[in-house]
Chains A and B, each alone.
Chain A
Amino acid sequence: MEQVFFFYFAFVIAAASVLVVAVRNPIYSAVALLIMFFHVAGLYVTLHAEFLAAVQIIVYAGAILVLYLFVVMLLNLRQDDHYHRQWPMAAAVGLTLIIEAIILTAMKGWTTPVVVTGTETTVEGTGNTEAIGDVLYSTYLFPFEVASLILLVAMIGAIILAKKDPLEVNGEG
């Protein structure tokens, strides 16, 4: 049963990500990415990461993708987008990576399911959100604060970059 769900999610994720790259119209690309985000969230649920599934939908599908669609529609693009001249190089890099992945997989073989190590930090019985919150606000408190700083810097940077004629404003001020 778990495998059925996994193969469904995996197939849709792979197909949608190929569509993101292959489709000409940026809006269709963004919609394909939306489908992919929802299925990644589904995959997280099957992996017992319910909190991340919710965050994935709220942040990626709710905030990031809306921002993309907003910019795509703001810029009003023409439909003359062809593939890049360097597509032979892209094909070469892609093929090399595929071959490497196949060789590595063939060499190592398939892993055996679940080995339980002695260094567990999750307490069974408590919820996923509670476990994440426990670790996030104790062990990872400093990275958490740094993340908030990154968001602040990104917000200020985005506002300054998108403002009209930043050079002119600087020259006058």
Chain B
Amino acid sequence: MTVPLSYYLVLSGIVFLTGVVGVLLRRNIIIILLSVELMLNATNINFVAFSQYFHDVAGQVFVFFALTVAAAEVAVGLAIIIALYRAKSTINIDEFQLLKW
């Protein structure tokens, strides 16, 4: 009883969608970054599922690189959040509209 590939695609679609809605819906920058992590994990699930499906290890190598980028993104993102908090003592996204026309 093996699991069809479509199940993994549906699962990663659900998780990715949750991430998109989280980015659009929340006002806390930290939660927005967490939602980006959700989306990255959804793509990783896809990569690993396809890697198993095609018996090709390249998909897992790509997940490895996605993980590296996620770690870099978190480090820089959280540093930016700390800098923003130091400037305005809030991390509510509505307070940062300097670049808004």
Which residues of A are found within 8 Å of B83, using beta-carbon distances? 161-162
Checking B4, B31, B80 against A111 with a beta-carbon cut-off of 8 angstroms, the contacting residue is B4
A59 in contact with B18 given A93-B24, A162-B82 (CB within 8 Å) = no
Q: By the criterion of a CB under 8 Å from any partner CB, how many residues of chain B are at the interface?
A: 70
Cα separation A48 to B60 with both chains bound (whole Å): 10
Chain B contact surface mostly:
helix
Which residues of A does B touch, CB under 8 Å? 1-3, 6, 10, 13-14, 17-18, 20-21, 26, 29-30, 33, 36-37, 40, 43-44, 46-49, 51-52, 55-56, 59-60, 63-64, 67-68, 71-72, 74-75, 77, 81-87, 89-91, 93-94, 97-98, 101, 105, 110-114, 116-117, 119-122, 128, 131-132, 135-136, 139-140, 143, 147, 150-151, 153-155, 157-159, 161-162, 164
Which residues of B does A touch, CB under 8 Å? 1-7, 10-11, 13-15, 17-22, 24-28, 30-31, 33-35, 37-38, 41, 44-45, 48-49, 51-58, 60-61, 63-65, 67-76, 78-83, 85-86, 91-94
